[in-house]
Chains A and B, each alone.
Chain A
Amino acid sequence: MTLARRLADAVTPARRTLEWQIATVKAFAPETARARTFTLELPKWRPHRAGQHYDVRLTAADGYQAQRSYSIASEPERVGEIDLTVELIPDGEVSSYMHGVLEPGDRIEVRGPIGGYFVWQASQPEPLGLVAGGSGVVPLMAMLRHRAAAAGRQPARLLYSSRTVDDVIYGAGLARLHAARDGAEVFQTLTRGAPEGWAGFTRRIDAQMLREVFAPLGSDVRIFVCGPTLLVESVADALVAMGVPAERIKTERFGPTGS
């Protein structure tokens, strides 16, 4: 580095820019028939905040680019790498490439971590309420993993809605978090039929279910809701009707562009 450059670096306030970087696929693992977790090694890794996402960009030989955002599934305590859980969307330009083509050792263009709104840090003492629909569980899993890694002691409850038991993402990981009995509890509901012996709910999330799961967390609860738009809106409306102040509810809608 030249002296001039060093001096410039010393006097210029560090302006954080969102730079693209080339990540290397370290591994991938199936979560469900349609969801797969990719572990990416990042040359310019920066610690993220749970709830943030990365943008993934693909460039074709003719210069055509497709870009999508994927929530980070891993905790920020894991240095140098991140997990992205990607659901395969039929005809999805980016997800079908990631599912069909990417192999360990392959490289892929990403930028992040991105977002400062739908984020949670284990240093926040208030009780944590999480509501997920489908692959909306991904950023909320990052929050639970961060809470566990940082030994957070605030009570936390996740209410997670899936269609069937085969659609449950992170089933084993969620069971482990629940079994740790460190104040994090996982509640699940299945909306399209449950196996025999299923102990969870078996209907769409409704006001009564929200009350049952979140009332014990008290009035100071901070709630994060992530899932398909219609689920997010109905849950947020029901929470406000329950008396949870709107500013304590943060939402992230997963739309069809998340493909």
Chain B
Amino acid sequence: MAVDEPTKQAGSQPSEDAEAMALDRALTLDGNAVAGLLEEVFGWEITAQLTQCANCGHVAECGALLAFVGGPGTVLRCSVCKEVVVRIVRTDRATYVDARGASFFRLPVSPDI
């Protein structure tokens, strides 16, 4: 990491940001890529179910959210405003779900509805 220091000090922040954004974009998956995790958390398949972004109000199927899986947890973002809709972190003993970015999830009373 030390070799990165001179570059940072040379004031190349904008291009680094652009690079980071391009990398983020290339690493983006869809909600359907984490359908298995969502099924564990919610009890059954929900990628075809609707959710609403609490930030911009966009309503979309969970499978159409943007998924980022490279970190310690899974982050799902709105495909329109890019705000975080839900974060899921699993430990050995529990799963933590931070869903404050969603104003609702539609959860069917039985599968296939």
| Chain A residues near B (Cβ < 8 Å) | 13, 15-18, 53, 55, 69, 111-112, 114-119, 228-230, 233, 250-253, 255-258
Contacts and interface: CB of A to CB of B under 8 A. Distances in A.
A229 B28 contact: yes
Given A55-B36, A117-B47, 14 more contacts: A111-B36, A114-B45, A115-B35, A116-B35, A116-B49, A117-B30, A119-B48, A229-B25, A229-B28, A251-B30, A253-B29, A255-B29, A256-B26, A256-B27
Contacts, number: 81
Nearest to B49: A116
B17 interface: no
Contacts of B29: 229, 253, 255, 257
Interface residues of B, number: 28
Interface stretch (B5-13, B60-68, B95-103): B60-68
Contact of B64 (A112, A117, A257): A117
Interface in B33-49: 33, 35-36, 39-40, 43-49
A229 B27 contact: yes
B45 A15 contact: no
Given A16-B111, A69-B33, A117-B64, A230 B25 contact: yes
23 contacts: A16-B44, A16-B45, A18-B36, A53-B35, A69-B36, A112-B36, A115-B47, A115-B63, A116-B46, A116-B49, A117-B35, A117-B48, A229-B29, A230-B25, A230-B26, A250-B64, A252-B30, A252-B32, A253-B33, A255-B27, A255-B28, A257-B29, A257-B69
A116 B48 contact: yes
Contacts of B47: 115-118
Nearest to B61: A117
B90 to A, nearest CB: 11
B113 to A, nearest CB: 11
A117 B32 contact: yes
Contacts of A229: 25-29
Contact of A257 (B36, B61, B70, B111): B70
Contacts of A250: 63-64
A18 B63 CA distance: 17
Nearest to A255: B29
Given A13-B110, A15-B44, A114 B39 contact: yes
A117 B63 contact: yes
B44 to A, nearest CB: 6
Given A16-B111, A255-B33, A257-B69, A115 B45 contact: yes
A230 B26 CA distance: 6
Contacts of B110: 13
Question: In the complex, which of the residues B26, B32, B49 has the most CB atoms of chain A within 10 Å of its own CB atom?
Answer: B32
